Homo-oligomer: A and B are copies of this chain.
Amino acid sequence: MPKVEVCFTPQAFSLFANDEANVVVIDVLRATSAICTAFYNGVSKMIPVATVEEAREYQKNGFMAAAERNAEIVEGFELGNSPFGYMSNRVKGKTIALTTTNGTQAIEAAKNARKVIIGSFLNQDVVAEYLVAQQRDVILLCAGWKNKFNLEDTLLAGFFVEALLHNGYDMDCDSALAAQTLYNIAKEDIFEFLSKSSHRSRLSKLDLERDIRYCLTPNQTPVIPVLEGKHLVKMNVAVQAVSK
């Protein structure tokens, strides 16, 4: 029986070594929500990079580039990690280099995994369906906040744990059990449950309540971004259905 595990931070990822596992990277507020929104709005490719300097290099070479640090757009960039930045015809067909405080670091940590999938509430059901169809070990990698545990990523991990346990998966780690338990308490009103969380409070100070509400809304962007080499691309739906 395939198993599902939850890794709360990129720092801990190497402890979960499993070459057979599909990895879902989760950074609800807001990198993976922005990536899903970008592909849903026709972005062609995204290039996740670890540093602002790398993003600037791509910019100099004529690429669109996005950079966020500490929840704000870095000076000199037109895009950060707000999903609303990617709801525009301007991004259609484009390749965009992207660096964020946590999300792109998590992608970097997972890059050698069998498959790296981008998960958010915005694409929760299509990702869950894909994982269930695969019946392979799954590691849910939460981006957290600067390698500390965060709640919003944990709740989405809990959604996936719940979905997989009902569909042929087993779990053997306490972090999966904790995520599932927290998700089941929170699921009726995740926005309210997160009202005391540190990152919601961080973003509220920056007047980003609209972003938060959007990022917590299920199934707004039914696409599956996936890492291919150094690029994120949209998984082909036909492939989705049959690939093992």
CA distance A196 to B176 in the complex (A): 11
- A155 CB to nearest B CB, Å: 10
From B12, B15, B173, B178, give the contact of A182 (CB < 8 A): B178
From B15, B145, B147, B177, give the contact of A147 (CB < 8 A): B15
**Total interface residues on A, using CB and 8 Å?**
26
Chain A residues near B (Cβ < 8 Å) = 8-9, 11-12, 15, 145-151, 154, 172-175, 177-178, 181-182, 185, 196-199
- A205 CB to nearest B CB, Å: 13
State the main secondary structure of chain A at its contact with B: helix
- 14 A-B pairs within 8 Å (CB atoms) are namely A8-B149, A9-B12, A12-B12, A12-B147, A15-B148, A148-B173, A151-B174, A172-B198, A173-B198, A177-B196, A178-B178, A181-B182, A181-B185, A182-B182
Q: Nearest chain-B residue to A173 (Cβ)?
A: B198
From B11, B12, B177, give the contact of A197 (CB < 8 A): B177
CA distance A177 to B182 in the complex (A): 11
7 closest Cβ contacts across the A-B interface?
Answer: A149-B175, A151-B174, A150-B174, A174-B198, A174-B197, A149-B174, A15-B147
- A151 CB to nearest B CB, Å: 4
